[in-house]
Amino acid sequence: MDSTFWLVVAVVLVLVVASAAAVLLVRVFRARKMLLDAGVPLQSKALFWAAVVYTISPIDLVPDPVYLDDVGVLLVALRALHAAAARSGANLEKRAAAPEETSADGSAGTPPSR
């Protein structure tokens, strides 16, 4: 086998890995967009942005032809964002299900003053 075969194989592998990383990055951006209104804490949002910066950054734990560290960081960020959204969604459901206090005159809203 000549060198052009191995070059084609290498290019195909690089394209497959790069496309997988691009798909994962698109999923992270969609998840962030979905979670904007979910009341996700600032810590989870900061973790998301740190994962994006790490993925784009030329400084890696593992050299760039291997995207395992980038994929791992993005997966951790996605998991943290989804967990934070689930917690905030559960908190929103609890608040919505809680009965409102009524004032002395029977109207809903602010609790009665003491």
Helix axes 42-56 and 68-97, enclosed angle (nearest 10): 160
Nearest C-alpha neighbor of 62 from the set 50, 71, 53? 71
Facing residues of 87 across strands? none
Each residue's pLDDT tens digit, 3-22: 889 899 999 998 998 888 88
Dihedral sign for Cα 33, 39, 44, 45, please. positive
**pLDDT score of 113 more than 60:** no
* The one-letter amino acid at 48: F
Q: What is the pTM of this model?
A: 0.54
Better-predicted residue by pLDDT, 95 or 70: 70
Q: Give the Cα separation of 53 and 103 in Å (integer).
A: 51
Q: What is the pLDDT of residue 15?
A: 92
